[in-house]
Structure 1
């Protein structure tokens, strides 16, 4: 498991808690915390403190059957360099990154038949004390072969996750479609929460917030459709409801990155969708505004002018 932050720490920690053989590939500082305190999870599905194995990049050998990526998209190149020596000759790579663009890079490095597709639905982050905090009941992983075939390795991984507490695992034969659908929802949520610097409920409670949210959701759906992956009716209905909830506290990792003055995945989510919209000649004013807003934040960050 590359990464022991919000996503990798939660799902990898739950696997380790269930008795699975999990090794975390981390940096020195994180390994020190894991070796001294174990991996700690604070969750509505039960807290945990698990002794885990952790290694540094120079220590890995090609023995790992499954290499799961949970890094930020902007760290993909470094992540590929770190995991390349770890993948067993018959092993595979499964990324749970935001967006879709990373799949092409992984296919080029490892070969399409050794790269699965996947999405993670969770709101969790690493706290200053090193613990992983899960914020709500989202706890699902969806994964499968890019080809759509249901293979033994996909079934085996699903069975491992099904034994873990606080995890919902879905092995599917349409993972690329699902990745596009997640990108539609995520780009909508990131565009709106970052542009407004507010969570879903705070936005929806304004006079025009809900209408703007649903307009951006439909824009994202049109972009996906132009690329051969139109979202289904059930998906659209579910997210129309989510983006209409006045009491929702749903936010996005991109907004949290902005609020702490950190790097963002703007190019891999908003920039990617904007490029696809322009190529398909789809009107996308809200998306364009959100992208420009975050890029302006990056300019201020680079100049040391954040307050």
Structure 2
């Protein structure tokens, strides 16, 4: 099987480098700036599990002349529209699309363009970033990727994807509850992002101050209430663990959106917070904290564009 990884940033580059090192047929679809960087320096991963340097197979949109078996979409959500156009020539009648984006809106956008039958649900857990030279820096040892049919069924195509992904240096697994997995991930991202970004600190920073724990609890309650109204029922064990993680004393944990914000980069405010508010509004739900968070992030985005 041949895989096209759309984006060679911190997430796509990490999993793609692992797959290439394991002998899989991996090609990265990149923009000109990243193309030049990777041609000069290669794809470099720096990780507690061991460093990795490869010379990747690279391609631009104009150079795609035949479909791929798997297209792994690993761009930031605000770059999805252009990525969809760039990867169109790689999508054939039997191509499977695995999106590693946050939230749920990307599933609808990809389905509108290529059809829902092309999509598998997919979620990943890894903490990575790009340094100034374009190297991928992994923090910690978490490197999970999960995929499955959106209806929860077993299928030959999921089995084929799993055969391709497994034993490649990261934790790959199938899921019969992938849709719920994605909603749960969105719950964590929206709650953690709101806590970190509005309060401008780590989970430990927030809960250590007067009123911080109470604020975090209110955020979790509001996000979970919306998710359960517009998405899926969240289990009691999941909610208990989410609350534990998001109110843990001394925790240095921060969301990727907060790390992007503090680094002065573009953020996924519309996809992680804004879209959740759109869905809440459609159900007539009030979301005072998320509304405040979203306004705060919009101010940041406006300042970034000046």
Q: Deviations over 1:41-85 (max 9, x none)?
A: 111211111121011111012231000101111111101101110
Distance in 2, Cα, partners of 1:139 & 1:54: 23
Distance in 2, Cα, partners of 1:32 & 1:106: 28
Identify if the C-alpha distance between structure 1 residues 211 and 155 changes in structure 2 by more than 3 Å, giving closer, same or farther.
farther
Trace 1:94-133 onto structure 2 (pairs within 5 A). 94-133=98-137
Tell me if the contact between 2:149 and 2:158 (Cα under 8 Å) persists in the aligned partners: yes
Shift of 1:32: 2.2
In the other structure, the counterpart of 1:194 is: 197
In the other structure, the counterpart of 1:148 is: 152
**3-state DSSP of counterpart to 1:64:** coil
In the other structure, the counterpart of 2:227 is: 224
In the other structure, the counterpart of 2:261 is: 258
Distance in 2, Cα, partners of 1:153 & 1:253: 31
- Superposition CA RMSD, Å: 1.5
Distance in 2, Cα, partners of 1:59 & 1:95: 22
Shift of 1:29: 2.2
Shift of 1:277: 2.5
Shift of 1:289: 1.2
**3-state DSSP of counterpart to 2:138:** strand
In the other structure, the counterpart of 2:13 is: 9
Q: 2:141 aligns with which of 131, 134, 137?
A: 137
Q: Give 5+ residue unaligned stretches, structure 1.
A: none
Tell me if the contact between 1:10 and 1:132 (Cα under 8 Å) persists in the aligned partners: yes
Identify if the C-alpha distance between structure 1 residues 191 and 228 changes in structure 2 by more than 3 Å, giving closer, same or farther.
closer
Distance in 2, Cα, partners of 1:158 & 1:248: 34
In the other structure, the counterpart of 1:60 is: 64
Q: 1:75 aligns with which of 67, 75, 79?
A: 79
Distance in 2, Cα, partners of 1:126 & 1:211: 34
Q: 2:44 aligns with which of 40, 45, 51?
A: 40
Does 2:280 align with 1:277? Answer: yes
Distance in 2, Cα, partners of 1:113 & 1:234: 32
Shift of 1:228: 4.5
**3-state DSSP of counterpart to 2:134:** coil
In the other structure, the counterpart of 1:159 is: 163
